[in-house]
Amino acid sequence: MKNRSVGALATTAALALLLTSCAQSQRETDDAGDNGDGATGTQSAGGGAEASDATFVFGAAGAPTTFDPFYASDGETFRVTRQIFQNLIGIQPGGTEAVPELATEWTSEDGLVWDFTIQEGVKFHDGTDLNAEAVCANFERWADQNEAGQSPSGAYYFGNDFGFGEDSLYKSCEATDEFTAQVTVSRVTGKFPMVLSQASYAIQSPTAMDQYKANDIKLEGEAFVFPEYATSHPTGTGPFTFESYDNAGGTVTLARNEDFWGDKAGVASLVFKIIPDEAARRQELEAGTIQGYDLPNPVDWQALKDAGNQVLIRDPFNILYLALNPVADPQLEDPLVRQALYHALNRDQFVTSQLPEGAEVATQFMPSTVTGWDDSIAAYEYDTEKAKQLLEQAGKSDLTIELWYPSEVSRPYMPDPQRVYDQVKSDWEAAGITVETVTKPWAGGYIDDTQASRAPAFFLGWTGDLNSADNFLCAFFCGDDNQFGTSAYDWHGELQDAIRAADAEADEAKREALYKELNTNIMSPEWLPGLPISHSPPALVVAANVQGMQPSPLTAEDFSTVTITE
């Protein structure tokens, strides 16, 4: 039955998409009350959307950790909280640039003192007014965390971006007038205030946080227990309000915020259904019991499209790399060996055979959308002969190397780790290198060992949190015990200084230049601490009758623009 109407649906969807984009601007004024049953797809897409009492069911891969994004660091949580909350700084739909959200503008003279002008007329879901006081209450709350809250498993982002205690980047927040919050930071950094666009820094209702003890995160035995606020009373300003979370049935239900200050949500009810099994998510979509899901397997994209669904591909904002660690294997201290290992790789073949359309070969340790990416860096070309020559030159023609890959894991940048390993192994073997394989479960030793410099060559990756070169480079190379073991190289100090200097540069243009230089250095034959492999675009899929879903490279999709036609 479904199959017969595929063609019609696809046409309708295409038309509807066109119309929605045109109709977008009129949505505020257009208040067509009757979302008639008889209305055809194209009509209701433009008009009746706002008053629609439709339910949008979206398949999620895992359960959210908590509903207080401040204590979360995982996409499953943020997907939900992004709908309930808003930040001072938003992200341009479908992009990575900063746009005004709860703050209409932000300015600073010196990069230390920042004035945020707060949007007027905004109310939290519990009726509390949003003003500078409320914003500062959030900043104060972030900085004032107990021991459990300061844990890497508590407020991970704040701990990472700002840090707690004396050395914290955050200094103070003051409401200079009702709608101006003045935030002072302790040093100049390129990532502030852009960090505030991350889901973790959602502005939450101070009243609700007080009432339900939002800061009361506790350590109990071997785990964290979240306060009542985080489990059942998250209160934000977003287009949806929290309704319920059914643990046993695996569903999170949100309702349209009828008093939302911006464009009201296109569906009355938004349900996230947790379906851990990938194949099961797809079948639910085919059966029509869900209208979309995240991270469809690239293998299924074509079939999903053929069935009339829309596969929405996000711009890749991640990187998969092969790290080489000279602390684990001193042979790697020789740059010739590292170059040889890189030239031996046929990354083009890997990208075309294993990664979805839209994937790219990486030339440096960040995707091209990040400011600081240097387009003048050429990819190390695939040349087995050259690799052999380099090895001979290094006196390592009979090189034996341990290659690690993780099991029990699938990451957006690495859908199937074994297939990457296959490629690298066969390429290296073609260059006369003997490859010894080590595989460990992701959470069963792989992460521990690779971070403790016990693995000579291994695969790992990163999904960016925001458009910040530091977010990528520092995650890889900061510190004396980083996973690349750069402390074994004589340029280690230079690298550390360069990362710090670039981040502390207040002028944007100069900062970008510094990052470009840094990228060039890192990829130079002398440095080359590891081998960037690819950027892989994660996708999401929605049914043919779903309009208005805008894929975001940061996986920060806004579900309020979604409408459903019958």
- CA atoms of 33 and 21, how far apart (whole Å): 20
Pick out residues in 354-373 that bind another protein (CB under 8 A): 354-357
**Binders in 303-332 for another protein, by CB under 8 A:** 303
- Phi then psi dihedrals of residue 549, to 5 deg: -85, 120
Cβ proximity to another protein: between 172 and 231 the closer is: 231
Q: Are 164 and 156 in contact (CB under 8 A)?
A: no
Q: Any contact of residue 432 with another protein (CB under 8 A)?
A: no
Given a contact cutoff of 8 angstroms between Cβ atoms, the answer to whether 114 and 133 are in contact is no
Query: Is residue 1 within the footprint of another protein (CB under 8 A)?
Result: yes
Binding piece for another protein, criterion CB under 8 A, among 133-141, 348-356, 371-379, 519-527? 348-356
For the chain, give the number of residues.
566
Of 152-160, 163-171, 197-205, 551-559, which segment contacts another protein by CB under 8 A?
152-160
**Exposed, middle or buried by CB within 10 Å (0-12, 13-18, 19+), for 547?**
buried
Pick the stretch among 165-173, 353-361, 364-372, 489-497 that binds another protein (CB under 8 A).
Answer: 353-361
Residues sharing a CB contact under 8 Å with residue 11, sequence separation 6 or more, in sequence order: none
Site for another protein in 83-112 (CB under 8 A): none
Residue with smaller CB distance to another protein, 226 or 559 = 226
Q: How many of the other CB atoms lie within 10 Å of CB of 481?
A: 12
Restricting to residues 236-255, name those near another protein by CB under 8 A.
246-251
Binding of residue 437 to another protein (CB under 8 A)? yes
Nearer to another protein, 67 or 116 (CB): 67
CB-CB contact of 481 with 493 (8 Å): no
> Shortest gap between Cβ of 223 and another protein (angstroms)?
4
Of the pair 76, 263, the CB lying nearest another protein is at 76
Pick the closer one to another protein by CB: 153 or 371.
153
Nearest to 118 by CA among 49, 178, 74: 178
Contacting another protein within 274-293 (CB under 8 A):
275-280, 282-284, 286-287, 289-290
Give the three-state DSSP class for 76: helix
Residues 465-504 close enough to bind another protein by CB under 8 A: 475, 479, 481-482
CA 58 from centre of chain: 18
Written as one letter, the residue type at 270 is: L
Residues 60 and 272: beta-carbon distance below 8 Å: yes
Q: Among 114, 226, 380, 515, which residue sits at the site for another protein (rule: CB under 8 A)?
A: 226
Task: Tell me how far, at minimum, the Cβ of 251 lies from another protein, in Å.
Answer: 6
x/- track of binding to another protein for residues 203-222 (CB under 8 A): ----------------xxxx
The whole-angstrom separation of Cα 459 and Cα 463 is 14
Report the phi/psi class of residue 297: left, alpha or beta, with left for phi > 0 and alpha for psi in -120 to 50.
beta
Residue 225 makes contact with another protein by CB under 8 A: yes
**489 touches 527 (CB < 8 A):** yes
63 binds another protein (CB under 8 A): yes
> How many residues belong to the site for another protein (CB under 8 A)?
89
What is the rounded distance in angstroms from the CA atom of residue 82 to the CA atom of residue 53?
21
Which of 164, 261, 301, 491 touches another protein (CB under 8 A)? 301
Site residues (CB under 8 A) for another protein, limited to 399-428: 407-408, 411, 418-419, 422, 426
Q: For the window 6-35, what string marks contact with another protein as x by the rule CB under 8 A?
A: ------------------------------
Identity (one letter) of the amino acid at 358?
G
Judge contact between 89 and 67, C-beta under 8 A. no
Q: Exactly one of 8, 18, 99, 299 binds another protein (CB under 8 A); which one? A: 299
